[in-house]
Structure 1
Amino acid sequence: MNATLLLARSRDFLDRSRGIDFLAPLLLRLFLAPVFFSAGLTKMMAFESTVSWFGNPEWGLGLPFPWSMAFLATSTELIGGLLLLFGLATRLIAIPLMVTMLVAICTVHWQDGWFAIAPSDPSTSMATPLAAVGFPGAEASLANSEEVGNRLTAARGLLREHGNYNWLTEKGSLVVLNNGIEFGATYFIMLLALFFSGAGRFVSLDYWIGRWLDRTPPLTREALLSLEPA
């Protein structure tokens, strides 16, 4: 098989794969919908505490108009989660959801760097190649990883000696929460992809509403004039 034929068949395969291109936005929506709905539900179930956290400058975010900000964040996440699930107004709802992610990144997570879960092994950290090229903050991240590893080793030793270590770790390994921007940035990128791609074909209300609108004949100039008040 020569290179030209191989290239032609590859292009044909890639073109045919567009028939299932709706799977990508569908999976993005199904991933993000419960994330935002559960976040909004958590805020709603403890709304007074959410307002206090938004407004308190000492142990919270110190944002102005905390009740309004908490209400906007809660309602955006609840409604946004439902709209993403059904694929309704997907491109529109992606905008306020991206704004909430930017606010969370800048006000909550920025000072904690990139990682959501602190890596405990510097040799496998993504900061290792960045440190090799002098990327700002990479060396500090590696030092932090080493310290995290030391603390996890100490914690495991204490739990093995004084606690039921097997039971405590049965559902997952011990980690140190870093609380960085990793998850927020990932959700933002996923929402940005949905903003440009839309909800996808077949398995979204946006698609079927669009199909219905395309079949509806446009109003003529005479019909528009007839709608104006005399």
Structure 2
Amino acid sequence: MSRVDVVGQWIAPLALRALLAWEFFEAGREKLHGENWFADLDGRFPLPFSLLGANVNWTLATWFELAGGIALLLGLGTRYAAFSLWVLTIVAIYAVHWPSEWSSVAELWQGYAITNDGFGNYKLPLIYLVMLLPLILGGGGRFSLDHLVRTFASPEVVTPGRTGPMTWGLVLAALALPLTVLLPWVGGALTVLGVALVANGMRRTAPRVFARPATALR
């Protein structure tokens, strides 16, 4: 199994990157050569994108998808590219694929579909979000320019340390921020949990300024 693990560190992230790169690059290329239909969304973009206008949002979406797709394929700045596409996908779900009205979880669940029957069609972009998460958290893998740059920059082998509460808190807060657009109560709860973990980590790692040495008590 150790050999499988080694192969997986090369192949698994590469497969995710290649598939997502194709999907996002194709979406950007269609926008680049197509007509701007963002004006038909009638102000459905969330803040701050609702302040930018249809043309600016169209241009941003086009080039983020094109540049992000190329970055994922090369494995260059993988975490940053994946996170930017994660935010873009959240905005796309909110503005295009999320049901305009729903009053229960059962109605919301009907939007988990590829075709739109009036309840939304957020299934495919939600799958993209799940596929982007391993790249955000784990990077591009060994078959990437990121790994090549790290190898030349610091060739010595570094043993990864234990992930502390501060790290998990930062990850939760970063991932929860875009979620507040779709499900404010879920995103808000994760943000509070992330901030609490960061605060706990800072408290545990902060030096004890007021602690007296043992010799001072004698």
TM-score (norm 1): 0.55
Q: Tell me if the contact between 2:98 and 2:121 (Cα under 8 Å) persists in the aligned partners.
A: yes
Q: CA deviation at 1:51?
A: 4.8
The residue identity in structure 2 corresponding to 1:191 is L
Match of 2:14 in 1: 26
Q: Tell me if the contact between 1:53 and 1:61 (Cα under 8 Å) persists in the aligned partners.
A: no
Larger radius of gyration: 1
CA spacing shift, 1:108–1:187, aligned 2, 3 Å:
same
Q: CA deviation at 1:16?
A: 3.0
Q: How far, CA to CA, are the matches of 1:193 and 1:18 in structure 2?
A: 15
Provide Cα deviations, 1:54-83, integer angstroms capped at 9, x if missing partner.
5x44xx769432222222111100000111
Q: Tell me if the contact between 1:112 and 1:181 (Cα under 8 Å) persists in the aligned partners.
A: no
Q: How far, CA to CA, are the matches of 2:108 and 2:155 in structure 1?
A: 59
Q: CA deviation at 1:24?
A: 1.0
Identity %: 32
Q: How far, CA to CA, are the matches of 1:176 and 1:189 in structure 2?
A: 20
Q: CA deviation at 1:46?
A: 2.2
Residue 111 of structure 1: SS of its match in structure 2?
coil
Q: Tell me if the contact between 1:86 and 1:205 (Cα under 8 Å) persists in the aligned partners.
A: yes
Report 1:43-122 matches (<5 A): 43-47=31-35, 49-53=36-40, 56-57=42-43, 63-65=50-52, 66-111=54-99
Provide Cα deviations, 1:159-193, integer angstroms capped at 9, x if missing partner.
xxxxxxxxxxxxxxxx9544511111110111111
Report 1:1-230 matches (<5 A): 13=1, 15-21=2-8, 22-47=10-35, 49-53=36-40, 56-57=42-43, 63-65=50-52, 66-111=54-99, 136-137=105-106, 141=110, 177-178=116-117, 180-201=121-142, 203-215=143-155
Can you give the 5+ residue segments of structure 2 that lack an aligned partner in the other structure?
157-218
Q: Tell me if the contact between 2:45 and 2:94 (Cα under 8 Å) persists in the aligned partners.
A: no
Could you say which structure has the greater relative contact order, defined with CA pairs below 8 angstroms and 6 or more residues apart?
1
Can you give the 5+ residue segments of structure 1 that lack an aligned partner in the other structure?
1-12, 114-134, 145-174, 217-230
CA spacing shift, 1:139–1:29, aligned 2, 3 Å:
closer
Structural RMSD (CA) = 3.0
Q: How far, CA to CA, are the matches of 1:107 and 1:53 in structure 2?
A: 11
Q: Give the number of equivalent residue pairs.
A: 145
